[in-house]
A = this chain, B = another copy of it.
Amino acid sequence: MSTRFPTINPNSPHFFFTIFSICLCLTPIITNSRTIRTITSSSHLSDDSSTTYLWPLPSEFTSGNETLTVNPNLSISGSGNGGNSVIVRDAFARYKSIIFKHVGRSKFKFSDLDYDVGKVNVIVHSSDEELQLGVDESYTLLIAKSNGLSIIGEVTIEANTVYGALRGLETFSQLCGFDYGTKTVQIYKAPWFIKDKPRFAFRGLLLDTSRHYYPIEIIKQIIESMSYAKLNVLHWHIIDEQSFPLEVPAYPKLWKGAYTKWERYTVEDASEIVNFAKMRGINVMAEIDVPGHAESWGTGYPDLWPSSSCREPLDVSKNFTFEVLSGILQDMRDIFPFELFHLGGDEVNTDCWKYTPHVKQWLKERNMTEKDAYQYFVIKGQEIAISKNWIPVNWEETFNTFAEKLNPKTVVHNWLGPGVCPKAVAQGFKCIYSNQGVWYLDHLDVQWDGFYDAEPLEGITDSTEQKLVIGGEVCMWSETADPSNVQQTIWPRAAAAAERLWTSKEAAPISNTSETALTRLQYFRCLLTRRGVQASPVTNFYARSPPSGPGSCYDQ
């Protein structure tokens, strides 16, 4: 063994940093001898500006001024307990196909030796692939040229879990750009050293599949695009008053509430969506919104309606209602492994309960008001969910109305406006931030900077309380969104929120964002289109409106 290199155990948690230190030492003797063509390349990303074209921005990074070429035969070398996981391997294959969309057809015939980067080393310490809230998504990414003396060089991603490795691969893919002059994939501003982790554990996107049905192909497109922005929770608002698309084996008539027999999700479809999402490090949080927003339940089981003229809220007076709710949750337990389950509880108008004789009688016997019955329903729903080992999430009305009755485990989901998370965390509840004034995607008059400037911790100064805000979520309600326009309504604005949720407060631009964020976001929007995502122009006043005239993607 050469005395120049100390003994190193690749499975050691310190492996990466040790190696990086060595590389730094060797930097002065890295030469450009094999990359003369890259130096003479006609166009470099780095020519344009000092902007770092990454979205979301990593929490810590340094870069240099070298340009490296990447071998189209890029290979992966996994190590550590999780480095050879199929999750990592599949992700590498996906990113390879993204990175090399344009090459494999270069007019220049290079040998492998002509490239600066030929291998991605992925070190994953843990073999545990459970994907739950707070899973370690941190990673370190080193990109430095091998000069034959350095042990590593090339690209190294080190992470504690496979999900951290996925985030690192996404970042790596964003650093690779196709150079039209040399027709090679290049990495600009190397060497890169990136040390990154999410600011919040929960970075969600709500998708409402009741107001309009989304075929599984479209849902997969959305999940895939979420991974590009490092979002990690698909909040699946499956059912609402308009339609009940999901198969529930215990109550097989429920999906008679689907719009048509073709606008449905089988159990297998749902499982496939969950698995597809997991492969991208994304959890699926299912929602069964009760007792309001549930009219469609009664299409298959009219007994769930208090009466034919009072179709929601669901009939609080019948045991059958809770048997069905329990049956649904039991069946869903097999599909959705995520520890959070959303029980809705929003916008419950109980007026028609009191006009329905048997419900009125039931209330009277128990000396309950309708408001009491609303609380009774929600709490009973929570108990059922908890009995099935779920942590309940409820929309903020439950907290606003009877906070003291909610199970202490409850995650309060803000939506109506600002100021709710501060109150919730002050009472010890966890909270998800989705202030509709800034993070509702169906609010088409909220521009990118409205999304970007939102702050989930606004009004919360105590650090213990801050930790109770598990994150935030942008909401894609589907009254006027469907498969034709959902992606253009989601993107690029969801990306603005994604950076707020991912990037550490210290690293994220907070002022002068039209300089520090807009150019990067426009670049990211164009990156999305290159990957086949229908992301809208960034600077339109109304979301998803067409470009106002001819022009470059990077200017619109």
Interface on A for B, CB 8 Å cutoff? 42-43, 101-102, 105-107, 177-178, 180, 183, 210-213, 215-218, 221, 242-243, 247, 255, 259-264, 266-269, 271-272, 478-485, 487-488, 526, 529-532, 534-537, 544, 546-556
Contacts and interface: CB of A to CB of B under 8 A. Distances in A.
B268 A183 contact: yes
A259 B553 contact: yes
Contacts of A487: 484, 534
B484 A535 contact: yes
B105 A272 contact: yes
Contacts of A216: 101-102
A269 B478 contact: no
Contacts of A261: 42-43, 180
5 contacts: A102-B269, A259-B552, A263-B553, A480-B548, A484-B544
B259 A554 contact: yes
A102 B480 contact: no
A483 B535 contact: yes
B101 A263 contact: no
Nearest to A104: B268
Given A180-B266, A530-B215, A480 B546 contact: yes
Given A212-B553, A259-B553, A479-B550, A266 B532 contact: no
Contacts of A272: 105
Nearest to A491: B484
A541 to B, nearest CB: 15
A531 B216 CA distance: 9
Nearest to A535: B484
Which 10 A-B residue pairings sit nearest by Cβ, starting from the closest? A259-B552, A105-B268, A211-B550, A483-B529, A217-B532, A43-B261, A480-B546, A215-B530, A484-B536, A242-B550
A551 B210 CA distance: 9
Interface centre among A261, A263, A532 (most CB of B within 10 A): A261
B260 A552 contact: yes
Contacts of A552: 213, 243, 259-260, 263
A532 B482 contact: no
Interface centre among A102, A247, A260, A483 (most CB of B within 10 A): A483
Contacts of A210: 550
A13 B34 CA distance: 60
A254 to B, nearest CB: 13
Contact of A488 (B180, B264, B485, B529): B485
Contacts of A262: 177-178, 180, 526, 554
A551 B480 CA distance: 9
Given A212-B550, A217-B529, A484-B536, 18 more contacts: A43-B261, A101-B217, A102-B216, A107-B267, A107-B268, A211-B549, A212-B553, A215-B532, A217-B532, A242-B550, A242-B551, A259-B553, A259-B554, A480-B549, A482-B547, A485-B488, A485-B536, A487-B534
Nearest to A177: B262
Contacts of A531: 217
A550 B210 CA distance: 8
A247 B106 CA distance: 13
A80 to B, nearest CB: 32
